[in-house]
Each structure stands twice: as structure tokens, then as C-alpha cells.
Structure 1
Amino acid sequence: MEKRDAKLIEELVETDRELKGYVDDHVEFEKKLVGYNEKPYLTPEEEIERKRIQKLKLAGKDKIEEILSKYR
């Protein structure tokens, strides 16, 4: 995300509840992924969950971009 997008998000999360939800989810997914990425080895179940979270994070980022495009 570009610097101007980060600033726009900061301004809009206070008024746009949908955007706030996606941003909050994005942060949570990132925290979970960091936890998985710090492990030296993942079980097959953990690997599946990590991939699922990556897909959810990417879908959320796409939604954030879609919302931001309305305000640009």
C-alpha cells in the first residue's frame, strides 16, 4: 500500500465502518501469519490454516482497495 493510501485509511476508518472492519481483519490476519512464519516447522494442518489466512488477507486487501478507490 502506498503512503497516501495509509493516510487515507487513517482518515476514513473513523467514518467508514466497512473499511474499519476490513482493516481490523487485515491486522489480525497479519498477526496470525507472523506467528506461523516464525515457526521453524508447520504441521500439515497449520500449513493449510496459514494458506487459508493468506487468502482471506488478500481478499480483504482487495476490498480495502475497492473502498479506497471510491474516495480517490
Structure 2
Amino acid sequence: MEQFEMDLIEKHMAQDMELKSLWDLHLEYEQRLEKLLNKPFLSPTEESDVKELKKKKLAGKTKLQSLLDKYK
């Protein structure tokens, strides 16, 4: 995410609960992914979790982008 988008999120998330919720989910997915990807070996279940988290993160980012468009 670019800095101006991060600034928009910071500026508007106090008033826009949907934006805040999506941003919090994005951060959660990012942390969970980072934790899994830092492991030296992933089980098949963990590999599946990584794929699912990436999909959820991308879908959330798309929604986040559409919400940010109204603030640009």
C-alpha cells in the first residue's frame, strides 16, 4: 500500500467503521501470513492456510481500495 493511501486510512478510519474493520483485518492477515512464511517448513495444512490468507487479504485489499476511492 502506498503512503498516501496509508495517510487516508489513518485520517478517516475513526469516522468510517467499515474502513477501520477492513484495515484491522488486513493487518491481522498480514501478521498471520508473516508468521507462517517465516517457518522453515510448512505442513500441507499450513500451505493451504497461506493460500487462503492470501486470497482473503487480496479480497479485503480490493474492498479497502474501493472505500479509499471515495476519499481521494
TM-score (normalised: structure 1): 0.96
Within 2, Cα distance between the matches of 1:24 and 1:39?
23
| 1:15 maps onto 2:8 in alignment | no
Any gaps of 5 or more consecutive residues in structure 1? none
Structure 2 match to 1:6: 6
Number of matched pairs = 72
TM-score (normalised: structure 2): 0.96
Higher helix share: 1
Structure 1 match to 2:39: 39
Any gaps of 5 or more consecutive residues in structure 2? none
Identity in percent:
43
